[in-house]
Copies of this chain bind each other. A is one copy, B any other.
Amino acid sequence: MVANRGYNSTSAKTRLRLIEAASEILDEEGYPAFTARRIASRAGLKPQLVHYYFRSMEDLVVTVFKRSSANYFRLHDEALSSARPLHALWRLNCHIPEARRMLEYVALGKIYPALRAEMRASGESFRALQIEAIENVCARRGIANPPMSAASLAAMMSAVARSIVIENNVAMTVGHDEIHAFVEATIDQYDPG
């Protein structure tokens, strides 16, 4: 007779190893390598264990994403609490490994609806936090007429950073330095150093 199929054992060591391996695979080889067999082999485990600990690949990818997201939340929170929150946020947005990973999730989102839902939830809440942080900066610095609204600054930062990463993936470079400098200059108007 079987089995609890440790779906819920959030602490099981082997389960964590799988999550870790899946995360590394996504970072190093991208979404096409996100398969049960590759992940298990990366973790030094039998492929069947993936379905012992996770109902399905969708379940796994959502779990991995949630972990990424929680991790990112810490960095994000740290950035927004720092002395110059907007610069810190911009630096975080431009952090290549994080941005690349998000791109893999975008691809996997085409396949797994539950992942899309999770991405939407976390994406919206990160953006809300950013908007709040930008408004706080404006209030603190007494900036009444900022160059752009808080929402559009937040959206622009993530759009530009994401785009640079996408284009780097195909070895494009034209305009990257310029747009990067422009965003930095814009941020400087809020949060001068």
Tell me what chain A mostly uses at the interface: helix, strand, loop, or mixed. helix
A84 contacts the other chain (CB 8 A) = no
A8 contacts the other chain (CB 8 A) = no
Which among B31, B123, B151 is the interface contact of A110 at CB below 8 angstroms?
B31
Chain B, Cβ-Cβ closest to A33? B110
Residue pair A178, B149 in contact (C-beta under 8 Å):
yes
Residue pair B124, A174 in contact (C-beta under 8 Å):
yes
A139 contacts the other chain (CB 8 A) = no
Q: How far is the CB of A61 from chain B (nearest CB, A)?
A: 14
Q: What is the CA–CA distance of A164 and B111 in the complex, to the nearest angstrom?
A: 20
Residue pair A120, B170 in contact (C-beta under 8 Å):
yes
Q: How far is the CB of A154 from chain B (nearest CB, A)?
A: 6
If A116-B169, A119-B170, A149-B178 are given as contacts, then 17 extra A-B residue pairs at C-beta distance below 8 Å, sorted by A number, are A106-B170, A119-B172, A120-B170, A120-B171, A120-B172, A123-B170, A124-B174, A127-B172, A131-B174, A131-B175, A151-B175, A152-B178, A152-B181, A155-B178, A156-B182, A159-B164, A160-B160
